Amino acid sequence: MSDESQELGITESKSHKPGEWYAEVVQKANLADYAPMGGFIVTKPRGYALWEAIQDSLDGWFKETGVDNVYFPMFIPESYLEREKDIVEGFDPEVAWVTQGGHEELEERLAVRPTSESIIAPFMAEWTRSHRDLPMRLNQWCSVVRWEATETKPFFRTKEFMWQEGHTAHASNAGAWEEVWTRLGQYERVYEDVLAIPVLRGKKPEHDKFPGADTTTTVEALMPDGKSVQGATSHNLGQSFAEAFDITFADEDEAEQTAYTTSWGLSWRAIGALIMTHSDDQGLVLPPTVAPTQVVIVPIWQEDTKDDVLEYSEEIAEDLEDAGFRVELDDRDERNPGFKFNEHELNGIPLRLEIGPHEVDDGEATLVHRPDNEQSVAERDEIVDAVDEHLDEIYDKLYEAAEENLEENVREAYSPEEILGTIGKHGGYVKTAWCGDEACEEAIKEKIAAEIVMQPLADEGGETAGEVPEPDRDECGVCGDPADEIAYFAKSY
Ligand SMILES: [Zn+2]
């Protein structure tokens, strides 16, 4: 390898130094850069394209299911945030404040939104008059700021992050639950059908739910290093926010009723999970669903074959473009094919077409899968169908590998030693019986920094909405007291 390609390529190992490897992939695959202020990143075009792909899917599904997009100010008056105080203590130390505008000191400090319940809820209260105004479903795509002093990890830990936050009001608790499941289902779908990442669906334990929520539901994804990522959350807020912000309505008998509300969000952490799940020591690996370029064509020529090879390659590129694929023809003169292969591997282009004089003579193209270098040959006449099939195959390969990782890494353990030993040795999830006492989580957390990331859900409808099914054993895996809940322990991001 030349010095140049070494500089271009990934030098860290995913299995040995996942943190360093991740940072290198993000930078060298041109997804993001570090901003001059600690804790902030600059999202580059190829990184932002991933966010747009996620956005396109989710936003469409939201709209199909009755959601309207809105935009609220990024600043929230302190008095508004104060109204939340009774129900929310969660965000205070993480809030960034604006105290001056121009040369003037502000009369009232303005918070940079850490989340927007406290400014959206008062308006929902104003807009909700009668049962006919419900359900009201609002969503905004924006960024929020949480001033946490932690080491920056692009898309995983940044003080400002992009997300969507949905806020809804309903006439009944059943309506709120239906909303919670609809959004959780859409989050599950974006992970499984767009990002090729299987998830576990469940709820957070009582002590770890969103401040003020009745129930916080979550989708959790297991990373190859054995840690869980909270993929998105959907909260049933019950009536606590509606009571604090007077979200009331006149029912059919003109009697005043208090609404039930939900909120739900997915952040660009999904991009972090995407990078971490599929990529390797050669660089970024992307499913074709989100890849900004799905197919790269690399012509391989000598001086005397150049014109034929290029012309043939251009025709194929055109056919594929016409069929709706995102295609790049890499006809750069100054780079040799080997350099180009490395670069496109680093950038995670799912499928490479190699075209040399042989392919031209035989009326074929050589297809190479990014994830595992599997090669095959397709007929020129059938190239559009072949590319379509191969992109599907690549998606399936990525999904299956992630699914295998998940299936192999859910283990049961029923004593503290066994729980600690299992997570210590294998990572992944440990399923156990739990008495419901936070102290039992603390005992595990102190020793190995693993916590209860998820509890599975019983039947999601009706009376038992949000309840956890009975465990196989009736003694808590940590303290031995009677247990009637299942809990999944894991280390997490
Ligand atoms: Zn216990």
Give yes or no for residue 1 having a pLDDT over 50. no
pTM of the shown model? 0.95
Cα–Cα distance for residue pair 171/130, rounded to 1 Å: 10
CATH number for the domain spanning 140: value is 3.30.930.10
* Ligand 1 centroid, distance to 253 Cα (angstroms): 48
* Residue 285 falls inside a structural domain: no
* Ligand 1 centroid, distance to 445 Cα (angstroms): 13
Q: Judging by DSSP bridges, how do beta strands 429-434 and 410-412 pair with one another?
A: parallel
Q: Which is nearest to 365 in space by CA: 384, 337, 350?
A: 384
Same domain, yes or no: 329 and 456: no
Same domain, yes or no: 82 and 160: yes
Domain boundary among 394, 420, 449: 394
Same domain, yes or no: 473 and 333: no
Give yes or no for residue 87 having a pLDDT over 70. no
* Residue 60 falls inside a structural domain: yes
Residue that the structure tokens 């608790």 belong to: 173
Tokens of 119: 């400014």
* Ligand 1 centroid, distance to 437 Cα (angstroms): 6
Same domain, yes or no: 415 and 362: no
Tokens of 400: 């299956």
Tokens of 245: 């912000």
Strand-pair partners of 155: none
Amino acid 90: pLDDT: 55
* Ligand 1 centroid, distance to 433 Cα (angstroms): 8
* Ligand 1 centroid, distance to 343 Cα (angstroms): 52
* Residue 267 falls inside a structural domain: yes
Same domain, yes or no: 81 and 221: yes
Domain boundary among 360, 394, 428: 394
Give the list of residues 6+ apart from residue 64 with CB closer than 8 angstroms, or none.
Answer: none
* Ligand 1 centroid, distance to 451 Cα (angstroms): 13
Q: Which is nearest to 444 in space by CA: 457, 425, 430, 454?
A: 430
Give the SS3 label for residue 185: helix
Amino acid 471: pLDDT: 81
Cα–Cα distance for residue pair 9/339, rounded to 1 Å: 10
Q: Is the peptide bond before 224 cis (omega within 30 degrees of 0)?
A: no
pLDDT tens-digit map of 309-332: 999 999 999 999 999 999 999 999
The count of domains in the chain is: 3
Amino acid 2: pLDDT: 45
Across the chain, what does the average pLDDT equal?
94
Give the SS3 label for residue 438: helix
* Ligand 1 centroid, distance to 208 Cα (angstroms): 16
Same domain, yes or no: 305 and 259: no
Give yes or no for residue 88 having a pLDDT over 70. no
Cα–Cα distance for residue pair 248/246, rounded to 1 Å: 6
Same domain, yes or no: 30 and 90: yes
Mean pLDDT of 469-493: 91
* Ligand 1 centroid, distance to 91 Cα (angstroms): 28
pLDDT tens-digit map of 427-442: 999 999 999 999 999 9
Give yes or no for residue 70 having a pLDDT over 80. yes
Tokens of 272: 């972090």
Tokens of 26: 């993000």
Residue 155: exposure state from Cβ atoms within 10 A (0-12, 13-18, ≥19): buried
> What torsion, rounded to 10 degrees, do the Cα atoms 242, 247, 248, 252 define?
-100
Say if residues 429 and 453 touch (Cβ distance below 8 Å).
Answer: yes
pLDDT tens-digit map of 164-211: 999 999 999 999 999 999 999 999 999 999 999 999 999 999 999 988
Cα–Cα distance for residue pair 69/178, rounded to 1 Å: 20
* Ligand 1 centroid, distance to 438 Cα (angstroms): 8
* Ligand 1 centroid, distance to 479 Cα (angstroms): 4
Give yes or no for residue 465 having a pLDDT over 90. no
Domain boundary among 219, 244, 278: 278
Q: Judging by DSSP bridges, how do beta strands 41-43 and 32-34 pair with one another?
A: antiparallel
* Ligand 1 centroid, distance to 440 Cα (angstroms): 5
* Ligand 1 centroid, distance to 198 Cα (angstroms): 29
* Ligand 1 centroid, distance to 420 Cα (angstroms): 15
Cα–Cα distance for residue pair 120/237, rounded to 1 Å: 14
* Residue 284 falls inside a structural domain: no
Amino acid 81: pLDDT: 87
* Residue 14 falls inside a structural domain: yes
Q: Considering the chain, what percentage of its residues have pLDDT values greater than 70?
A: 96
Amino acid 4: pLDDT: 53
Name the region of 207 (left: φ>0; alpha: ψ -120 to 50; beta: rest): alpha
Distances (CA, A) of 315 to 293, 308, 353, 371, 373: 18, 11, 13, 26, 24
Query: Angle at Cα 486 formed by Cα 217 and Cα 278, nearest 5°?
Result: 60
Amino acid 472: pLDDT: 80
The DSSP 8-state label assigned to residue 323 in this structure reads T
CATH number for the domain spanning 309: value is 3.40.50.800
* Ligand 1 centroid, distance to 421 Cα (angstroms): 18
Between 171 and 472, residue with greater pLDDT: 171
CATH number for the domain spanning 454: value is 3.30.110.30
Judged by average pLDDT, the poorest of 5-19, 107-121, 203-217 is: 5-19
Between 185 and 88, residue with greater pLDDT: 185
Amino acid 488: pLDDT: 97
* Ligand 1 centroid, distance to 259 Cα (angstroms): 36
Strand-by-strand arrangement of the 215-222 sheet:
68-69, 136-145, 160-170, 260-267, 228-236, 215-222, 200-203
* Residue 371 falls inside a structural domain: yes
Give yes or no for residue 151 having a pLDDT over 90. no
* Ligand 1 centroid, distance to 218 Cα (angstroms): 22
* Ligand 1 centroid, distance to 443 Cα (angstroms): 9
Which phi and psi (to 5°) does residue 204 adopt?
-85, 150
* Ligand 1 centroid, distance to 483 Cα (angstroms): 7
Which phi and psi (to 5°) does residue 434 adopt?
-135, 140
Amino acid 420: pLDDT: 95
* Ligand 1 centroid, distance to 264 Cα (angstroms): 30
Cα–Cα distance for residue pair 211/19, rounded to 1 Å: 30
Amino acid 417: pLDDT: 95
* Residue 457 falls inside a structural domain: yes
Give yes or no for residue 46 having a pLDDT over 80. yes
* Ligand 1 centroid, distance to 228 Cα (angstroms): 22
* Ligand 1 centroid, distance to 458 Cα (angstroms): 21
* Residue 135 falls inside a structural domain: yes
Same domain, yes or no: 358 and 273: no
Range of the domain at 457: 410-491
Cα–Cα distance for residue pair 451/227, rounded to 1 Å: 11
* Ligand 1 centroid, distance to 477 Cα (angstroms): 7
* Ligand 1 centroid, distance to 429 Cα (angstroms): 18
Same domain, yes or no: 338 and 419: no
